[in-house]
Amino acid sequence: MLNIALFGPPGAGKGTQSEFLIEKYKLFYISTGDALRKELKEETELGLEAKSIIEQGGLVSDEIIVQIIEKTIKNNPEANGFLFDGFPRTYVQAYILEGLMIKLDTSLNSLISIEVPEEESVKRLLERAKTSNRSDDNEVVIRTRLKEYSEKTLPVLKYYKDKGIYTKVDGTKGISEVTTDIEEIIEEELSKNLLNIAMFGYPGSGRSSQAMKLAEKYDLEYVSTGRMLEEEIEKESKIGKRIQNLYENGKLVPDDIVVKLIENKIINTKHPKGFIFKGFPRTLVQSYIFDGIMKQHGLALTKIFELRVPTLELLKRLDRRRLTDGTKPYDSSTEKIIDRLQMHEKRAIPVIKRYKQSHTVTKIDGTDTFDNVFEKMCIDIETGAKNLR
Report which residue type is found at 347: R
pLDDT (average), residues 244-267: 89
Residue 374 scores a pLDDT above 80: yes
Higher pLDDT among residues 299 and 280, named by residue:
280
User: Average pLDDT, stretch 79-95?
Assistant: 89
Asked whether residue 212 carries a pLDDT value surpassing 90, the answer given is yes
User: What proportion of the chain, given as a percentage, has pLDDT over 70?
Assistant: 95
Q: Are 15 and 85 in contact (CB under 8 A)?
A: no
* Tens of pLDDT, residues 303-338: 999 999 999 999 888 888 877 777 666 666 778 888
Q: pLDDT band for position 296 (50/70/90)? A: confident
Contact 381, 303 (CB under 8 A): yes
Buried b (16+ CB within 10 A) or exposed e, 205-227: bbbbebbbbbbeebebbbbbbee
- Burial zone of 333 (CB within 10 Å; 0-12 exposed, 13-18 middle, 19+ buried): exposed
What mean pLDDT do residues 193-213 have? 92
Q: What is the mean pLDDT of residues 349-363?
A: 91
Rounded to an integer, the average pLDDT of 341-350 is: 88
- In the predicted model, is pLDDT for residue 266 greater than 60? yes
Question: Sheet of 221-224: strands edge to edge?
Answer: 221-224, 275-278, 197-201, 303-308, 361-365
pLDDT at res. 154: 86
CATH class of 2-27+79-192: alpha beta
CB 81 within 8 A of CB 3: yes
d(C-alpha 32, C-alpha 339), whole Å: 66
- Rounded to whole angstroms, what are the CA distances from 156 to 55, 86, 384? 29, 12, 31
Number of Cβ within a 10 Å radius of residue 150: 11
Tell me the H-state helices in the chain. Answer: 14-25, 32-42, 45-55, 62-74, 91-103, 118-132, 139-163, 175-192, 207-218, 225-235, 238-248, 255-268, 284-296, 311-321, 334-356, 370-388
- The DSSP annotation for 35-100 comes to HHHHHHHHT-HHHHHHHHHHHTTPPPPHHHHHHHHHHHHHT-TT-SEEEEES---SHHHHHHHHHH
| Arithmetic mean of pLDDT, 15-30 | 92
**Does the pTM of the predicted model rise above 0.75?**
no
Q: Tell me if residue 335 falls in helix, strand or coil.
A: helix
Residue % of the chain over a pLDDT of 90: 50
- Is residue 385 pLDDT above 90, yes or no? no
What's the average model confidence in pLDDT over 246-265?
Answer: 88
DSSP-derived letter for residue 252 is P
pLDDT at 386: 45
- Is 197-388 the same fold as 2-27+79-192? yes
| CATH class belonging to 197-388 | alpha beta
**pLDDT reported for residue 384:** 65
Going edge to edge, which strands form the sheet with 166-170?
28-31, 81-85, 2-7, 110-115, 166-170
Find out whether 227 and 332 touch, Cβ atoms under 8 Å. Answer: no
Cα–Cα dist 363/306, whole Å? 5
In this prediction, residue 331 carries a pLDDT of 63
φ, ψ at 366 (rounded to 5°): -85, 0
Helix (H, G, I), strand (E, B) or coil at 281: coil
Residue 284 has pLDDT above 70, yes or no: yes
Q: Between 41 and 271, where is the model more confident?
A: 41
CA distance 199 to 224: 10
pLDDT in tens, 135-168: 666 888 889 889 988 888 888 999 999 999 999 9
Indicate whether 207 pLDDT > 80.
yes
Exposure on the CB side of residue 239, measured as CA atoms within 13 A = 15
Name, in order, each residue with C-beta under 8 angstroms of 282's C-beta and a sequence gap of 6 or more. 225, 347, 348, 351
Q: Where are the domains of the chain?
A: 2-27+79-192, 197-388
5 and 88 Cβ atoms separated by less than 8 Å:
yes
Residue 140 phi, psi dihedral angles, 5° rounding: -65, -50
pLDDT, tens digit, 9 for 90 and up, residues 25-63 = 889 999 888 888 899 999 999 989 988 888 887 778 889
- CA–CA separation, 227 vs 229, rounded Å? 5
Lowest-confidence region among 75-79, 163-167, 279-283, 302-306: 75-79
Q: What is the separation of C-alpha 320 from the centre of its chain, rounded to a whole number of angstroms?
A: 40
pLDDT of residue 232 exceeding 90, the answer is yes
